[in-house]
Amino acid sequence: MVFNTGAALLDAIVLSVVSRDPEGTYGYKITQEVREVIEISDSTLYPVLRRLQKDDCLEVYDKEFCGRNRRYYSLTPRGRELLGTYEGEWKQYAGKITAIFEGGVKA
């Protein structure tokens, strides 16, 4: 992709992916779903997850799977609030960009 993905957009994408399952989802699955829309490495994604956890947007718990612990992430109330803010901002931003591409906005 030729467009850079800033920190806020990456946060929004991660929060959106995590929000799809109320029970939470695990790191590898998050990575795979995010990679469906943007190119991202594990070394980029896991610090985002840790930062969102530190900022009280994600809660983390471990759950046994096939004899190993799997780390799950779920949204906190603050994470849901932030996701709602991102969704509203994105709709406005995307609408303006689309309008420019379609010739509807004049400088």
Where do the structural domains in the chain lie, given as residue ranges?
Answer: 7-100
Q: What is the rounded distance in angstroms from the CA atom of residue 12 to the CA atom of residue 72? A: 18
**Predicted local distance difference test score (pLDDT) of residue 2:** 63
Q: pLDDT in tens for each of the 107 residues of the chain?
A: 667 778 899 999 999 999 999 889 999 899 999 999 888 888 889 999 999 999 999 999 998 888 888 899 999 999 999 999 999 999 999 999 999 999 876 55
- Three-class secondary structure of residue 10 per DSSP: helix
**Predicted local distance difference test score (pLDDT) of residue 103:** 87
**Predicted local distance difference test score (pLDDT) of residue 1:** 61
Q: Select from 2.60.290.11, 1.10.486.10, 3.40.50.880, 1.10.10.10 the CATH code of 7-100.
A: 1.10.10.10
- 34: which 2 tokens? 């995010």
End-to-end CA distance of the chain: 27
**Predicted local distance difference test score (pLDDT) of residue 107:** 53
